[in-house]
Chain A
């Protein structure tokens, strides 16, 4: 059975725009992998159609059947992690091995405050009176 793991250095759960995200990926697969890569992406969850955008990928050279590698991504300026009633935007890094297509992911928050932006709180804070 294939096993994939991915983690962020020191289990850091929140990052600010432009910060460097460092982590480690490890895997044990039953056949020689054609490719193993990490993907930095965001996706939406909520009501209606889901959206996803892969912002960056990093492929590991000559991946072995059992292996562990470090990775890093420079985070973009936006979009921020947020949640409202209808939609949440979630950032994650994912480890994907081919040809099996097995994947593992870890989520994190990208925001200038270090916290997910909650739209109802933001609206309350800016509403007059």
Chain B
């Protein structure tokens, strides 16, 4: 049995994967965000890398001098925790940049209230499943080729069997790489033949 700590698809290793930016440079993306008045959204379906991209942008925003304030909503946790939000509203200023992951969890009314209260902030970047609430900074998408790259990074190489499994899992999960990589974890934990050549 493969120990969890040795599983190449353990969370820690997935978090360490770098985001693959396509069609634009990091500088170009930051310029685009500035041109949007530092108000924008990262749009894409579940498992398309929006959260990973937010994480990759965070140190770059800090380098630009922003005080980054992170908020996260999920299906399991669709409401803000009051202490965190009270603190945010209390001292929000132009040096603050709010990153809200999971903005689709807010209904229309709560979204409008949130937007109004974030006006003093120097910036607001949200993630959404569908475009609409703020101008789109970038649309995140996945492809079998991207999955091949990620799996090759994690396994050290991509065998023909692993490539076949990627195609099958990509189709089964409709391009949701989070689910695909979870399946890979289980596959490695079980030591199935998918890792063989």
Contacts and interface: CB of A to CB of B under 8 A. Distances in A.
Contacts of B2: 85
Interface stretch (A3-11, A17-25, A47-55, A98-106): A47-55
A49 B1 CA distance: 21
Given A46-B11, A47-B185, A86 B4 contact: yes
Interface residues of A, number: 15
Given A45-B11, A47-B182, A47-B185, A118 B1 contact: yes
A29 interface: no
B3 A118 contact: yes
B189 A85 contact: yes
Given A85-B189, A86-B189, A46 B1 contact: no
The size bracket of the interface on B is 10 to 19
A38 interface: no
A93 interface: no
Interface of A: 45-50, 83-88, 90, 118, 120
Interface of B: 1-5, 7, 9-12, 182, 185-186, 189-190
28 contacts: A45-B4, A45-B10, A45-B12, A46-B4, A46-B5, A46-B7, A47-B7, A47-B9, A47-B10, A47-B182, A47-B185, A47-B186, A48-B11, A50-B11, A50-B12, A83-B3, A83-B4, A84-B4, A85-B1, A85-B2, A85-B4, A85-B190, A86-B189, A87-B4, A88-B4, A88-B5, A90-B5, A118-B1
